[in-house]
């Protein structure tokens, strides 16, 4: 049977199932196949904080959304074209996101009376015509898998568990994905359990062949590779990119990296990744708590290391006092906050941009800290290097604000070579700096950067003491002198204010837009995609995205004032808007949603359009 092949320019697939169904793995593999095929892509994993919520229930649903295209794309997509629903809960939890006419591939075997009851379906939606407005493919994935694995010497339970590989095989056929890497992946993953490896490969192939032969699927799809610029690419998540960025920062600064960290969602993967790279001289220290994590990092920085701590919002709250100590002792330190929904424990696996004001102001005293926020998963790499550059050059703690969406989302990344990366090394101080040629003044500043010398233990003649008590300008001796304190407060502020930050770039194709849409952090993708839609509709909008939140780029006031209206979408209640209004007296139009999810491009396009129309 020859099947029809239909050309598409882009597809959004959402794999959804029970937490135990292996949807994240399935999504990861489909992503890897798609990446190696050469499509541009963007992913959005969405999973519960519970490791295994009760099976078959709505809270237990885990999903993975992948958007891939023959052109460059910016977001994991608003609404899926295809929903793979492994059970009734997965269907129910995701159906409202699915536009009419989209495909549903449902595992019919799981739509049992009991499973339907668990989520409140009175009749089986696969049979009661309630899904008539969608293209329903009701496939008995579990029993097909079990049947395909009959001849293997594995338990029925293990056979059933391979159903996600059957589904992956089916989808791989449907979208013409290359399969070799997945087969190799399965063989490596289960290398110690050959029977499981073979059965999973068989399930994967069976799913592929099922698509090819069954009449249930009459059409397959082709999405041509995207014309990306020449180079070596890999698919990368934000947490992975951030970890590799820290390794690169260590190499490029010629400083040994010391990570002090305490496990916390969604930041732990950075600790996991860095702990693999010991041959770069990287020391990873899993501390007894968040405070010890940052304390150890600061202690290592005093000893001359590139000190890093990684955490999420609740951890930043605990680390605040130590960050203040780093501010006043003027030691380099990188504090990575992978933001998640708060306050308090909040929703650990959901994303938010609500820690900006905490990063800036969440410490006692006048305690200025540079803040940087990456825009995309791969930008986490460059942002980590930039954070290290500032920390080392200015001897200051730096806050790096990633978030759950960047951390777990992924995209193709054009891998830089080491030769392209900046040299961010700054030598330690080894000689006395006093006018007499013998004294060492630990708080005598560099005239240009206002940074103090970084003299590390082991350096003869420069023995000195630092601490949290206010220090006399120059000598660093304890000082309660009122004028000295006022001076030191101002010097610390001036040092941060004077950090060299690149100008804010504005994307305005025609140069005459009257509305600017501004963003920071992980909203870059949805905002840029929304701006494209608006422009495609024949309207003009300028877009700018802030990476440096403290200090702001020098030209930002000028940029803000040169537009009639400035729209600022944020996944908080207007934290950056508050700062910009206060500092530049510009009446920002805020758009805020705090749902634990990224913005949708369509939603933002509507908001931009409204602002343009109100002109």
Nearer Cβ to other proteins, position 317 or 415? Answer: 415
Query: Taking a C-beta distance cutoff of 8 angstroms, is the pair 259, 285 a contact?
Result: yes
Q: Which of 186, 292, 504, 534 binds other proteins (CB under 8 A)?
A: 292
Nearer Cβ to other proteins, position 48 or 295? Answer: 295
Burial 483-508 (b: 16+ CB within 10 A, else e): eebeebbeebeebbeebebeebebeb
Tokens 């002090």 locate to 260
Residues 320-339 that bind other proteins (CB under 8 A): 321-322, 324-325, 329
Which residue from 518, 541, 519 is spatially nearest to 531, judged by alpha carbons? 541
x/- mask, other proteins, residues 236-255, rule CB under 8 A, reads --------x--xx--x----
Q: Which of 11, 12, 32, 531 binds other proteins (CB under 8 A)?
A: 32
φ, ψ for residue 29 (rounded to 5)? -70, -45
Can residue 304 be called a binding residue for other proteins (CB under 8 A)?
A: yes
Residues 505-544 that bind other proteins (CB under 8 A): none
DSSP 528-596: HHHHHHHHHTT---EEEEESEEESPPTTHHHHHHTSSEEEEEESSSSHHHHHHHHHH----EEEE--SS
Query: Taking a C-beta distance cutoff of 8 angstroms, is the pair 242, 402 a contact?
Result: yes
State the burial class of residue 463 (Cβ atoms within 10 Å of its Cβ: 0-12, 13-18, 19+). exposed
Can residue 38 be called a binding residue for other proteins (CB under 8 A)?
A: yes
Nearer Cβ to other proteins, position 437 or 511? Answer: 437
Written as six digits, the tokens of 523 are 């909203």
Q: Which of these ranges, 78-86, 165-173, 213-221, 231-239, lies near other proteins under the rule CB under 8 A? A: 231-239
Least distance in Å: CB of 125 to other proteins? 37
Angle at 192 between CA 191 and CA 195, to 5 degrees: 80
Least distance in Å: CB of 318 to other proteins? 11
- 225: number of Cβ within 10 Å: 12
Least distance in Å: CB of 59 to other proteins? 33
Residues 190-229 that bind other proteins (CB under 8 A): 228-229
DSSP state of 267: T
Nearer Cβ to other proteins, position 31 or 354? Answer: 31
Tokens 């305005």 locate to 508
Can residue 477 be called a binding residue for other proteins (CB under 8 A)?
A: yes
Nearer Cβ to other proteins, position 353 or 383? Answer: 383
Q: Which of these ranges, 41-49, 204-212, 388-396, 455-463, lies near other proteins under the rule CB under 8 A? A: 455-463
Q: How many residues bind other proteins (CB under 8 A)?
A: 70
Residue 244 to residues 45, 237, 257, Cα–Cα distance (Å): 21, 11, 12
Least distance in Å: CB of 438 to other proteins? 13
Q: Which of these ranges, 69-77, 87-95, 166-174, 412-420, lies near other proteins under the rule CB under 8 A? A: 412-420
Can residue 604 be called a binding residue for other proteins (CB under 8 A)?
A: no
Least distance in Å: CB of 48 to other proteins? 27
Q: Which of 463, 481, 558, 587 binds other proteins (CB under 8 A)?
A: 463
Least distance in Å: CB of 245 to other proteins? 10
Residues 370-409 that bind other proteins (CB under 8 A): none
- 1: number of Cβ within 10 Å: 7
x/- mask, other proteins, residues 151-190, rule CB under 8 A, reads ------------------------------x---------
Query: Taking a C-beta distance cutoff of 8 angstroms, is the pair 310, 376 a contact?
Result: no
Tokens 């949290």 locate to 468
Least distance in Å: CB of 35 to other proteins? 7
Tokens 């942002």 locate to 383
Q: Which of 69, 186, 291, 372 binds other proteins (CB under 8 A)?
A: 291
Residues 265-284 that bind other proteins (CB under 8 A): 277-283
DSSP 406-463: HHH-EEEEEPPPGGGS-----PPP-S--STTSS---TBPPPTTT-PPP---TT-TT--
Can residue 418 be called a binding residue for other proteins (CB under 8 A)?
A: yes
Nearer Cβ to other proteins, position 251 or 589? Answer: 251
Residue 259 to residues 268, 309, 377, 422, Cα–Cα distance (Å): 12, 6, 21, 22
Cis amide bond preceding 609, omega within 30:
no
Least distance in Å: CB of 285 to other proteins? 6
Least distance in Å: CB of 258 to other proteins? 5
Can residue 459 be called a binding residue for other proteins (CB under 8 A)?
A: yes
Least distance in Å: CB of 183 to other proteins? 13
Cα(27)–Cα(16) distance, integer angstroms: 9
Tokens 């009419």 locate to 100
Length of the chain: 615
Report the chain's C-alpha Rg in angstroms: 27
Q: Which of these ranges, 144-152, 208-216, 417-425, 588-596, lies near other proteins under the rule CB under 8 A? A: 417-425
Written as six digits, the tokens of 422 are 């900046």
Nearer Cβ to other proteins, position 127 or 289? Answer: 289
Can residue 36 be called a binding residue for other proteins (CB under 8 A)?
A: yes
Q: Which of these ranges, 137-145, 465-473, 482-490, 513-521, lies near other proteins under the rule CB under 8 A? A: 465-473
Angle at 235 between CA 229 and CA 240, to 5 degrees: 125
Q: Which of these ranges, 18-26, 104-112, 354-362, 456-464, lies near other proteins under the rule CB under 8 A? A: 456-464
Q: Which of 90, 106, 287, 544 binds other proteins (CB under 8 A)?
A: 287
- Quick one: residue 254, left, alpha or beta (phi over 0 = left, psi -120 to 50 = alpha)? left
Nearer Cβ to other proteins, position 475 or 555? Answer: 475
Least distance in Å: CB of 77 to other proteins? 22
Burial 344-362 (b: 16+ CB within 10 A, else e): eebbbbbbbbbbbebbbeb
Q: Which helix (H) or strand (E) holds 401?
A: strand 397-403
Q: Which of 151, 180, 288, 423 binds other proteins (CB under 8 A)?
A: 288
Q: Which residues bind other proteins (CB under 8 A)?
A: 32, 35-36, 38, 181, 228-235, 244, 247-248, 251, 256, 258, 260, 277-283, 285, 287-289, 291-292, 295-305, 307, 321-322, 324-325, 329, 415-418, 421, 457-469, 477-478
């Amino acid at each position: 049977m020859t099947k029809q092949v239909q050309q598409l320019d882009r597809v959004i697939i959402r794999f959804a199932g029970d937490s135990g169904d292996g949807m994240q793995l399935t999504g990861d593999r489909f992503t890897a196949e798609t990446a190696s095929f050469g499509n541009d892509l963007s992913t959005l994993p969405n999973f519960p904080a519970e490791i295994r919520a009760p099976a078959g229930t709505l809270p237990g649903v885990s999903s993975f959304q992948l958007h891939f295209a023959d052109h460059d794309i910016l977001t994991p997509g608003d609404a899926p074209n295809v929903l793979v629903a492994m059970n009734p809960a997965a269907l129910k939890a995701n159906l409202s996101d699915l536009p009419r006419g989209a495909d549903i591939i449902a595992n019919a075997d799981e739509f049992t009376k009991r499973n339907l009851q668990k989520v409140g379906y009175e009749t089986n939606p696969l049979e009661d015509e309630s899904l008539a407005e969608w293209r329903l493919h009701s496939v008995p994935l579990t029993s097909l898998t079990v049947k395909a694995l009959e001849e293997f010497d594995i338990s029925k339970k293990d056979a059933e568990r391979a159903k996600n590989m059957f589904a992956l095989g089916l989808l791989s056929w449907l979208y013409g994905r290359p399969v070799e890497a997945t087969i190799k992946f399965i063989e490596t993953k289960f290398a110690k359990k050959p029977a499981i490896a073979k059965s999973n490969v068989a399930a994967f192939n069976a799913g592929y062949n099922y698509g090819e032969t069954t009449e249930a699927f009459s059409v397959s799809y082709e999405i041509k590779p995207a014309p990306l610029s020449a180079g070596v690419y890999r698919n990368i998540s934000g947490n992975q990119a951030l970890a590799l960025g820290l390794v690169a920062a260590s190499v490029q600064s010629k400083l040994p990296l010391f990570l002090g960290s305490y496990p916390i969602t969604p930041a732990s993967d950075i600790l996991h990744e860095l702990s693999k790279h010991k041959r770069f001289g990287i020391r990873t220290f899993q501390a007894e708590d968040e405070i010890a994590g940052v304390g150890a990092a600061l202690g290592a920085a005093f000893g001359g290391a590139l000190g890093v701590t990684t955490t999420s919002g609740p951890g930043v709250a605990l680390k605040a006092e130590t960050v203040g100590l780093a501010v006043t002792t003027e030691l380099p330190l990188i504090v990575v906050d992978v933001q998640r929904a708060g306050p308090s424990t909040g929703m650990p696996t959901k994303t938010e941009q609500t820690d900006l004001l905490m990063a800036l102001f969440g410490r006692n005293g006048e305690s200025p800290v540079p803040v940087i926020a990456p825009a995309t998963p791969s930008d986490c790499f460059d942002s980590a290097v930039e954070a290290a550059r500032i920390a080392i050059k200015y001897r200051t703690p730096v806050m790096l604000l990633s978030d759950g969406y960047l951390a777990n989302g992924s995209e193709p990344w054009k891998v830089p070579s080491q030769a392209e990366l900046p040299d961010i090394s700054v030598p330690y101080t080894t000689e006395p700096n006093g006018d007499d040629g013998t004294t060492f003044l630990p708080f005598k500043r560099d005239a240009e950067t206002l940074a103090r010398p970084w003299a590390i233990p082991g350096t003869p003649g420069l023995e000195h003491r630092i601490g949290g008590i206010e220090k006399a300008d120059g000598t660093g001796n304890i000082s309660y002198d009122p004028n000295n304190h006022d001076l030191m407060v101002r010097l610390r502020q001036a040092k941060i204010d004077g950090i060299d930050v690149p100008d804010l770039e504005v994307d305005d194709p025609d140069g005459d837009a009257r509305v600017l849409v501004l963003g920071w952090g992980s909203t870059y993708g949805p905002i840029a995609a929304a701006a494209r839609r608006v422009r495609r509709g024949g309207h003009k909008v300028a877009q700018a995205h802030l990476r440096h939140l403290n200090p702001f780029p020098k030209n930002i006031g000028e940029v803000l004032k040169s537009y009639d209206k400035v729209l600022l979408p944020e996944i908080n209640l207007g934290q950056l808007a508050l700062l910009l209004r206060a500092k530049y007296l510009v009446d920002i139009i805020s758009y805020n949603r705090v749902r634990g999810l990224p913005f949708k491009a369509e939603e933002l396009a509507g908001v931009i359009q409204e602002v343009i129309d109100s002109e």
